[in-house]
Structure 1
Amino acid sequence: MRGIHVLQVVPESQSPKGNVAVLRTIAVMQALQGLQETHCRESYLREVAAVTGLPSPTAYRYLQALRQAGVVVQPMSYASRDTSRGRYRLQWPASADQPPRNNPAQSIRGLLVKLASQTGQIALLYAPYTLAEQPMRECTAHAWASHEPTNQADIELAPLGADAAGMAMAAAMGISTPP
């Protein structure tokens, strides 16, 4: 487990304000990343402030600016259906040209195992993406049945028109696939 490093971002001598703002922004982002890796959950404002050494109101302003930029998100509270106050997560915008790198929840993995055991076939969870304007899909989770396929690469990455699962995804996305 990685330790949390306290960053001293308030300079001892006065420097141009732009440099301080950049250093603080980077410190807040590094704090969120470190806290997420350590605790595997969203971070509270007080934790970000403690790790960066910034006063809470200052850390809050930086978190809000990063939220507006789309780099920080606040998860929805299931009780109130409103954004959870004081909880933040670093989330880089995904590029449309990069395959998705999801880690499905344990409940999804459990459903895949159940489906594979009930059907005797492999159960796959795919995520669509676009690569050089070619609609593609990537297997983000799977559960093997009693027989593994001979070539695992054939099921992990494929054009959407390669089989029924891909064609269903393309239809849901409104994309026509070649026969």
Structure 2
Amino acid sequence: MTNIATDLTKRPNALSDLQRPVAKLEWEKSGLGMEVIDCHDCKRPVSFSAVACPHCGSLEAAGPYRFSKKEARRYRIEQKNDNNLLITSLAFGAIGAAYGVFANIQGIWTASVAALAYGLLGILIGVPVAFTVNMVRNLRYFFVPVVLTLALLAYHIFH
């Protein structure tokens, strides 16, 4: 009598579609300790821990990975936080650069250097602000302190 496990590895086409589930159960009961699944692409039995299907060469024999609802929500929140960080940092940088250009600075070279310096300062202020907004994750709780801080900074800059 031949072992079903060795029979499957030597002759994968030897079993009909009706015999394959029975062979799969016998393989699992044989004590080899590995879970056998059907390949996502060719529907033949393959070890769950296999890197690739030995029959068709599929690198995702178990099928494509699917996020759970919790993982998908976390991924969307991270994407939103990344976008928020980028937009806030660039907005503060643009505000700083505009201030550097429109400040009463004489000469185009000096105005360009001032725009660059104030733009970098705006980015340096924008990153912690965006990080704090991301940590709070709700802009309405953070909006009033940000507006008050910006108003205070504007007051000190212009007076």
The TM-score normalised by the length of structure 1 is 0.26
Q: Is the strand fraction higher in 1 or 2?
A: 1
Q: Is the helix fraction higher in 1 or 2?
A: 2
Rg comparison, structure with higher value: 2
